[in-house]
Every structure is written in C-alpha cells, then in structure tokens.
Amino acid sequence: MLSKRLEKIAKYLVKPIKFADIGSDHAYLPCYVCLQDATAIAIAGEINQGPYLRAIETVTTNQLENRIHVRKGNGLEVVNEGEVSQITIAGMGGKLIKNILEEGKSKLTGVKRLILQPNLDADIVRKWLYQHRYALIAEEIIEEDGYIYEILVAEQVHFTPRITEKELMFGPFLLNENNSIFQEKWWRERDKKEILLNEMRKATHTPNEKIQQFTKEIRLIEEVVDDGN
C-alpha cells in the first residue's frame, strides 16, 4: 500500500500525465500513478545504484516497462528538455531539492507543474520557486507515523510572483489554513529553536545578530500559533 504522503502527491498530477519522479527510490509513486491511469507515462530518476535497481524491480514486477523509464543520474540530468510537463521530488531535504532544481533549471522550460515534498527547510524551496517564476497554487501538511510532511504544488507563471517573508517561512496556504497539524509542527519548531537559543546564549562566541534572529523567529512562531494566524 502506498503511503498517505505519496498518495497526496499523486493527487496533484494533472492529466494527461507525463511526469518525472526524481529520487524515486522504489519507484512506488510512478508505479502507483501508472497503475491508476492507463495513459500515464513516467520517468523514475535515481542517483544511487541500490534505489535504481529497486526502481527497476518494482517497474518490472508491475509490468510497466513500456510506460515507466527508470534512469540513473543526478537530479534533472535524467530528463530531456521538453520531455515532461510535471516533476515530483519528494522525501529529501529542502536544500537538496533546491539544488536539484537550480542545477537542472535548463530542463524546466516546459515543466508547468512542480510537486515538491521537502522533509525540512521548505522555506528554501519556496524561495527558489518564487525567484524562478513558479508560484504556489496549493500546499498540504499531513502527519504520518508521527512525522509531519509539507507538500508544495507550484505552477509556472509568466511574471515575477510575490510572496512575503512570513509566507516563505510558513507557506501561504498553510498559514491561511492554520490547521492542527500546522500548529503541532510549529510548536515543535518553536521548542527546538528555544533549546538552540538557550545553548547559543550560554556559548560566549555566538554573534548577537544570530541570537536576535532566533528570538525574532520564535516570536513570529508564537504569534502565528497563538492567535490562529
């Protein structure tokens, strides 16, 4: 059975589906999508040999070799320009997702939709999107097996989209919804930051600006989780 997280991501693919799943590991996502939709076509990209072989195995077991191409390579280098209109990148840190997008941006010309699920540092991903003419059209926050995941759905736009610092940090849609999982996530973040701040205060060499920055972030989190926005 597919995880709730990957199922949510699949839901955001638009028909006709021709997509690349970068860092596909077992290729569970492309297989699920292609089994649900007989016209869907996918590329499963993997940098590492073990996951690459696992992806081939899942695709072969499901007899989807004609519609899912498993390719080995770094990030978007497995995709040819214009080959797909949607890309999913899930289950990695936000910095890595941002690097994959940045290094592969020449491949994004015809990519209308990006569905991204950073395990952390979602703000870094949002920032990259808004600097590269992608605007968020939806966000989700879900909890599965005690972990909280954010899913960002962005579409290519032909103007420079705008986003505030607060929206970059919390996510414009998530901030607006401010649901219980969002609250849980930011209480956890606040506690982590509080511990770090106390350590910084004890360490004599911490620059004052860093302490001020953390204090500001903690206050901002408290504002958002306390009053429901």
The reply to whether 51 sits near ligand SAM by the rule CB under 6 A is yes
The answer for residues whose C-beta is within 8 angstroms of residue 216's C-beta and 6 or more apart is none
Distance CA(28)–CA(52), nearest Å, equals 12
Q: Which of 8, 24, 122, 134 binds ligand SAM (CB under 6 A)?
A: 24
Q: Is residue 171 a contact residue for ligand SAM (CB under 6 A)?
A: no
Cα 199 versus chain centre, distance: 30
The answer to whether 154 and 116 are in contact (CB under 8 A) is yes
Query: By rule CB under 6 A, what count of residues binds ligand SAM?
Result: 17
**Given candidates 33, 46, 113, 185, which one binds ligand SAM under the rule CB under 6 A?**
46
Q: Which of 30, 75, 118, 171 binds ligand SAM (CB under 6 A)?
A: 75
Q: Provide, rounded to whole angstroms, the least separation between the CB of residue 77 and ligand SAM.
A: 8
Q: Which of 62, 74, 156, 215 binds ligand SAM (CB under 6 A)?
A: 74
Two structure tokens written together for 49: 């040999």
Residue span binding ligand SAM (CB under 6 A) among the ranges 40-48, 122-130, 133-141, 145-153:
40-48
> Residue 187 to residues 169, 183, 194: CA-CA distances in angstroms?
14, 6, 10
In the set 47, 157, 168, 196, which binds ligand SAM (CB under 6 A)?
A: 47
DSSP string, 145-192: TTEEEEEEEEEE-SS-----HHHHHH-HHHHHH--HHHHHHHHHHHHH
- Interface residue list for ligand SAM (CB under 6 A): 6, 22-25, 45-48, 51, 74-75, 90-92, 96, 100
